[in-house]
Structure 1
Amino acid sequence: MAFHTGLDLLRLQGDVLWAGGEFAAKIISEPLLRMIVRKGDGKTPVMTLPGFTGPEFSLQPLNQFLRDTGYVAQSWGLGTNRGIRDMDHMEEIAAKLGDRLREIADQHGRPVALIGQSLGGVFARELARRFPKDVDRVITLGSPAHFGETDREVNALVARVMRFYTGRSVDDHLREVKNGKFNISEPPPGVPLVSIYSVYDGVAHPATTKIPERYLKAKDAPRENIEIVCSHCGMGVNPLVLIAIADRLAEKREDWVPFDPLNYAVGPVRVLSRWFYPSRLKTRAAPGVAVQA
């Protein structure tokens, strides 16, 4: 147990250091990114939801990038994400976020795109399940797309912090989710869902952050996994992730085509893209057909 905790401490430290490098890469590459990414229409609202223990300003770089590329991006308005104590607390958070979501949708006269990092992505999917008419699409960044049976699928240090914040262990939360009346592991019906994940994730196990194959076969809305070489903590600033986010925000719901990073690569960069997007999609999907990385 002590060995496992020590190993996870190193993984988490490495992930945070990697995220610092990704932020530096964003600053350096941002002028180029703004030139090459697909643009919004200046009217589409986007709401971002931070990860567990993440303060609201942790996604400010992402929000600013989205504003610069033609989106009306804003944070969730609930401050630091301190997790959930129990399902009753989940209901309380969902109600507050639902009010926020409807307010944004009414203000702009159109559904809102949701981008959630880690636990924020879990909240985003639940919002889409409850308020599908107000949600345009959901993009998750290193978010558990389904829940396993034990806490070994979560970094041990993060699990300790979760117990501190919520007073309950990861296993306690998993049991309540499993026995609860809401299946929060199942993707929201009728809403496009994109999961961006990394096999080098230092917080959440990669096996849980991909949308399971059984859910990718739905016909009611596109569902897509995009693998990118990146850290967990730096997904909101990694230039490669930002390209994918902008591309998926601009994709038409009724004529969904899988993300292809080669659209942004020329010359030798095309070879490098295969390293950074190991499972890039190679097939085009018919409207409404789910796709998989």
Structure 2
Amino acid sequence: MFFESGIDLLRVQGDVIWAGAEFTAKVFSEPYLRTMARKGDGNAPVMTLPGFTGPEVSLQPLNAFLNANGYVANSWGLGSNRGVRDMEHMETIAALLETNVQIMANKHKRKVALVGQSLGGVFARELARRCPDLIDRVITLGSPAHFGEGTKNVNAMVARVMSFYTGRAVAELLAEVEELNLDMSEPPVGVPLVSIYSRYDGIAPLSTTKIPVRYLNDVNEAPRENIEIVCSHCGMGVNPLVLLAVADRLAEDKANWVPFYPMKYAMGPARLASRFFYRPNAKPHAA
């Protein structure tokens, strides 16, 4: 137990250090990224939801990038993400978020896209399940896409911090979900869902961050897509490659959805780099 906790502490520290490098890469590459990224129409509302323990400012670099590329991106308005004590608390957070989304939708007279990092992505999916008529699409960054045995393998140090914040062990919360017979893994009905994840994630296990295949194959539903990128967990909100993918998926036409294909952004030597950092999940549809 002590050995495993020590390994998980090193994983967290390594992930944070990697995130710092990703932020530096974003600073130097942003002018180029803004030229490459797909654009919004100047009135497309986006709500960003921070990860566990993350303050709203943690996703400010993502908001700034999107705002510079034709979107109107704002944080969720609930301050730092302190987790969930129980399902009643989850309902309270969902109600507050629904109010904030309704305000954004009324202001811009259109549906709102949600981009959630880690636990923020879980809230985003639940919000879309609660009020699909207000949500344009959901993009999650390193978020558990389903709950089960794999979720119990979340980084032990993060689980301890979560228990400290909420007063509940992760296992207790999962047991409550199972007792209520809630299928939190099922994607929101009629709302496009994109999961961006990394197999090198130091916090959330790969087994939970991908949308289950059974939902990807449901052709009668809204678009659902997994996008694997070589990146850290903590740095997904600032990683240049993640930002490019987020902008691309926000601009994608829901009625004529084409899977993300990073090679279209790569020129010359960058094509080789894109093969390394983006795991090939799909090829472009034939014209």
Q: Which amino acid aligns with 2:9?
A: L
Q: How does 1:202-217 map to 2 (within 5 A)?
A: 202-217=202-217
Report the equivalent of 2:17. Answer: 17
Establish whether residue 270 from structure 1 lines up as the match of residue 278 from structure 2: no
Mapped pair 1:112 → 2:112: yes
1:138-217 equivalences in 2 (<5 Å): 138-149=138-149, 152-180=152-180, 182-217=182-217
Partner of 1:126: 126
Question: Does the aligned pair in 2 maintain the 1:193–1:223 contact within 8 Å?
Answer: yes
Instruction: State how many pairs are aligned.
Output: 286
**Structure 2 regions of 5+ residues with no counterpart?**
none
Percent of aligned positions that are identical: 68
- Aligned residue number for residue 223 of structure 2: 222
Q: Distance in 1 between matches of 2:151 and 2:162?
A: 11
Alpha-carbon distance, 1:63 to partner: 0.4
For residues 212 and 227 of structure 2, the distance between their equivalents in structure 1, rounded to whole angstroms, comes to 13
Separation in 1 of the partners of 2:8 and 2:148? 18
> Would you say the 8 A contact 2:261–2:284 is kept in 1?
no
* Matches of 1:40 and 1:285, distance apart in 2: 24
Deviation at 1:150, TM superposition (A): 6.3
SS at match of 1:207: helix
In structure 2, the residue matched to 1:48 is 48
Structure 2 residue identity aligned to 1:170: V
In the alignment, what sits opposite 1:83?
Answer: 83
Which residue does 1:260 correspond to in 2? 261
| Contact 2:150 2:208 survives alignment (8 Å) | no
In 1, the alpha carbon distance for the partners of 2:5 and 2:279 equals: 29
Cα separation, 1, equivalents of 2:151 and 2:65: 34
Give the deviation of 1:278 after TM superposition: 1.7
Note the C-alpha offset of 1:183.
2.1
What SS does the corresponding residue of 2:7 show, helix, strand or coil? helix
After the TM superposition, list the runs of 4 or more consecutive aligned residues in structure 1 that deviate by more than 6 angstroms.
none
Name the amino acid aligned to 2:225.
Answer: E
CA contact (8 A) 1:149 1:174 kept: no
**Cα distance in structure 2, aligned partners of 1:111 and 1:231:** 30
- In structure 1, list runs of 5 or more residues that go unmatched: 287-293
What does 1:91-106 align with in structure 2 at a 5 Å threshold? 91-106=91-106
Cα distance between partner residues in 1 of 2:150 and 2:171: 6
Q: Is 1:236 aligned to residue 244 of structure 2?
A: no
> Which residue is 2:250 aligned to?
249
**Is the contact between residue 23 and residue 239 of structure 2 (CA under 8 Å) also seen in structure 1?**
yes
SS of the residue 1:139 aligns to: strand
Pair 1:30–1:188, CA change in 2 (3 A): same
| TM-score, length-scaled by structure 2 | 0.97
2:10 and 2:163 map into 1 onto residues whose CA distance is 20
- Retained in 2: the 8 A contact 1:258–1:285? no
Q: Which amino acid aligns with 1:45?
A: P
- RMSD (Å) for aligned C-alpha atoms: 1.3
Q: Is the 8 A contact 2:226 2:281 kept in 1?
A: no
1:141 Cα deviation after fit: 0.1
